[in-house]
Amino acid sequence: METSDLIAICSVIAAASAVGATIYQSRLSHRHDRLTVQPFLAWSESYVQENHGTFLTFALKNHGQGPAIIKDRWFEIDGKRFASDLGGSDLVEEVARAVLSERVEWHLRQSGLLAKTVVLPAGTEFTIARIYFPGRDKEGVRAVFALCPEIDLKVRFESLYGETKFFSALHGTEVLDV
């Protein structure tokens, strides 16, 4: 083997190494790009006590860096999907009636549910319900909910890259193997 052959072999090894490193870096960059636009949904409950009662607000927040594309959403009560008896013009109000019924005086001041295919942008919060409990303090409102059936909001959503995820108000976010 001559010196020129050895130089040619080394050149091929160097070129192959450069191609391998470029492919590896490209994959890392692609993974980084995907992670930088991931949505991360979280459930929020806040209590505001006023002179004559307490407001309880339930909200869905996107703490991620990318938007959440909502594909489906529903409520479960005690682990069973809630089916609307009234046709569902305001599903949030129907769930509140089913859970709170006549247990205590309450007034639904604001309600909303994300529509299917709506986009929840990064860093935003969407109020699901704002309920007023006259004559109750924060602990009184918590005591009422401790006696109620378990309520869970479930949301199936996608990232910009089409990765399907599932959110549960009780359990957080997880990736689905779909």
Q: What is the CATH number of the domain that holds 144?
A: 2.60.40
At residue 7 the predicted structure's pLDDT band, cuts being 50, 70 and 90, is: confident
- For tokens 């479960």, the residue is 76
Looking at residue 23, its pLDDT comes to 83
Of 88, 103, 81, 91, the closest CA to residue 147 belongs to 103
Are residue 158 and residue 92 in the same domain, yes or no? yes
At residue 34 the predicted structure's pLDDT band, cuts being 50, 70 and 90, is: low
Backbone angles phi, psi at 96, to 5 degrees: -60, -45
- For tokens 């309880």, the residue is 56
- Global pTM? 0.77
Are residue 70 and residue 95 in the same domain, yes or no? yes
Are residue 137 and residue 156 in the same domain, yes or no? yes
26: domain range? Answer: 1-35
Percentage with pLDDT > 70 across the chain: 90
Region 106-127 average pLDDT: 91
Are residue 45 and residue 59 in the same domain, yes or no? yes
Encode pLDDT of 56-69 as tens digits.
999 999 999 999 99
Which tokens go with 38? Answer: 């991931």
